[in-house]
Amino acid sequence: MHRLRRIDVIALVVGSIIGWGSFTLPGSRFLRASGVIDTALGLAIGAGMVIFIQAGYHVMMRLHADEGGEFSYAHERLGRGHGFIVGWSLLLAYISLVGLNGTAFVLVLKRIFGDAVSVGYLYSLAGYPVHASDVAIASAIMIAFAWLNVRGLRGSSRTQNLLVVFLVVNVVSIFLLMLFVVDLGPFTATYVDGWSVSWARVGSVVAIVPFLFVGFDVIPQVARDLGFEPHRATRLAIIGIAVGALLYAVLNMLTGLVFRPDQVDAVTWPTGAAVQSALGPVGLAALIIALAGAVLGGINAFTLASSKLIASLAEHRFLAPRFAQRNDVGVFHRAVWFVLAISLVAPWAGREVVNYIVNMCSALTAVAYLYTCLISVQATDRARARVMSGIGALCAVGFLSLLFWPTSSSRLGTLELIALAVWVAGGAVVYVASGRRATAPA
């Protein structure tokens, strides 16, 4: 059985954290809403909060190395109902990212070949057109990574390492080159001189950090596959969180090197346009390779994490037991195909509908963070770990407050709240049905 090395774990975390959004948020949100300094502050504060939350996960990894991560931890410590709340919350967060990155791969191709990629118009949802070719391409790439995962952990982890290396090296190289070739005067005048920090702008970035950084918590899902002591993965998770925050900030800054906030709406892809204007087609090609690495790495990582979570839910009889079956290379193959089946809905739903689901998943992941940290406060006998986990719990409450407080500028919109209510209602149905399964003879 293949065991994950330290480099495999870092690649898994970074590939989960850095996805399509890191390349599009600078133009669609960060520069317009928070600029460069406030965005960097928001990412740094959010990353710091996540590191405190990671303290709770450290306790979990030390005391609990079962697959299913936060779900099985809550199930063991608090019982069936609380365990299901955590597992059901994480399930959508993980699976939605498979679909989000799958549909994003089509957008990567559009950056190369233009709108000629999209043929066979079918319909529009929430104002977003759905084409037959887009559905076929996104489906094919998700099927390919499901097949890769079913064949074993060795192939998927090596692929992940390669994708993340391309991602990190290309982004850092592009940023350093742009610092030398771009006139920094306009950037300084727009984003630095006379800039005053706005905590509302900072808060709007902090609010979405739970979802942006959800990748750090995939480590507990692969606890049994680690080739070293599980609790040692904590420092690797922290490294991954730091690298993720830095890459988000770097991509935002390099976009700001070329565009002012009032200019980004006039450009289809501001980050790509910024790189192309500074470094030409070679620079754009390097950025697209990095983007492809981010998107494909996200599909791979969350297919793996989702299948582990589904298998654990099945082992505890919330889902059909067949999803906990392994193939001859030790993979939960039925769970992988189940993840694929759900993810294949995303291309048909269109990008806007998927984005609504993704937005409300920040709340779902924050719920899992809160549970994990609260349990760790009670579970650990170490004073420092108890304090750190307690601060992590407060950070999770802070995330939830930003998303739900009526006067918060970062609160969820009506459509996100509707999507959240639908998922909660679906969970209630599954939980009631699973109760009969749990009491049935094994």
Confidence of residue 348 (pLDDT cuts 50, 70, 90): confident
- Say which residue, 327 or 267, is predicted with more confidence: 327
Letter for the amino acid at 39? Answer: T
Q: Where does residue 227 rank: exposed (0-12), middle (13-18), buried (19+ CB within 10 A)? A: exposed
Domain boundaries, the chain: 6-439
Question: Residue 165's closest CA among 264, 66, 297, 33?
Answer: 297
Q: What is the dihedral sign for C-alpha 381, 70, 295, 39?
A: negative
Residue entry with tokens 């070293």: 228
Confidence of residue 372 (pLDDT cuts 50, 70, 90): very high
Among 188-202, 383-397, 411-425, which range has the highest average pLDDT? Answer: 383-397
Among 13-22, 74-83, 209-218, which range has the highest average pLDDT? Answer: 74-83
pLDDT recorded at residue 182: 93
Other Cβ atoms less than 10 A from the Cβ of 234: the count is 20
**381/83 Cα distance (integer angstroms):** 22
**How many angstroms separate the Cα of 365 from the Cα of each of 83, 94, 137, 248, 371?**
14, 9, 29, 19, 10
3-state SS, one letter per residue, for the chain: CCCECHHHHHHHHHHHHCCHHHHHHHHHHHHHHHCCHHHHHHHHHHHHHHHHHHHHHHHHHHHCCCCCCHHHHHHHHHCHHHHHHHHHHHHHHHHHHHHHHHHHHHHHHHHHHHHHHCCCEEEEECCEEEEHHHHHHHHHHHHHHHHHHHCCHHHHHHHHHHHHHHHHHHHHHHHHHHHHHCCHHHHHHHHCCCCCCCHHHHHHHHCCHHHHCHHHHHHHHHHHHECCCHHHHHHHHHHHHHHHHHHHHHHHHHHHCCCCHHHHHHCCCHHHHHHHHHHHHHHHHHHHHHHHHHHHHHHHHHHHHHHHHHHHHHHCCCCCHHHHCCCCCCCCHHHHHHHHHHHCCHHHHCHHHHHHHHHHHHHHHHHHHHHHHHHHHHHCCCHHHHHHHHHHHHHHHHHHHHHHCCCCCCCCCHHHHHHHHHHHHHHHHHHHHHHHHHHCCC
Confidence of residue 441 (pLDDT cuts 50, 70, 90): low
Residue 442 has pLDDT above 60, yes or no: no
What tokens were used for 111?
A: 């950056």
Q: What percentage of residues in the chain have a pLDDT greater than 90?
A: 37
Determine the average pLDDT of the residues in 26-33.
Answer: 83
pLDDT recorded at residue 74: 93
Residue 204 has pLDDT above 70, yes or no: yes
Confidence of residue 437 (pLDDT cuts 50, 70, 90): low
pLDDT recorded at residue 394: 95
Question: Residue 91's closest CA among 417, 361, 374?
Answer: 361
- Taking only the tens place, the pLDDT of each residue in 318-329 is 999 999 999 888
**270/113 Cα distance (integer angstroms):** 17
Question: Residue 318's closest CA among 146, 439, 150?
Answer: 439
pLDDT recorded at residue 36: 92
Q: Which residues, at least 6 apart from 391, have a Cβ–Cβ distance to it below 8 Å?
A: 52, 55
Other Cβ atoms less than 10 A from the Cβ of 155: the count is 16
Confidence of residue 354 (pLDDT cuts 50, 70, 90): low
Name which of 87-91, 233-237, 284-288, 358-362 the model is least confident about: 358-362
Output the pTM of the full model. 0.87
pLDDT recorded at residue 358: 66
- Taking only the tens place, the pLDDT of each residue in 422-435 is 889 999 999 998 87
pLDDT recorded at residue 309: 92
Determine the average pLDDT of the residues in 27-38.
Answer: 86
pLDDT recorded at residue 92: 86
- Taking only the tens place, the pLDDT of each residue in 247-257 is 999 999 999 99
Q: What CATH number matches the domain at 6-439, 3.90.1150.10, 2.60.40.10, 3.40.50.720, 1.20.1740.10?
A: 1.20.1740.10
Question: Residue 311's closest CA among 215, 232, 422, 225?
Answer: 225
Contact 270, 264 (CB under 8 A): yes
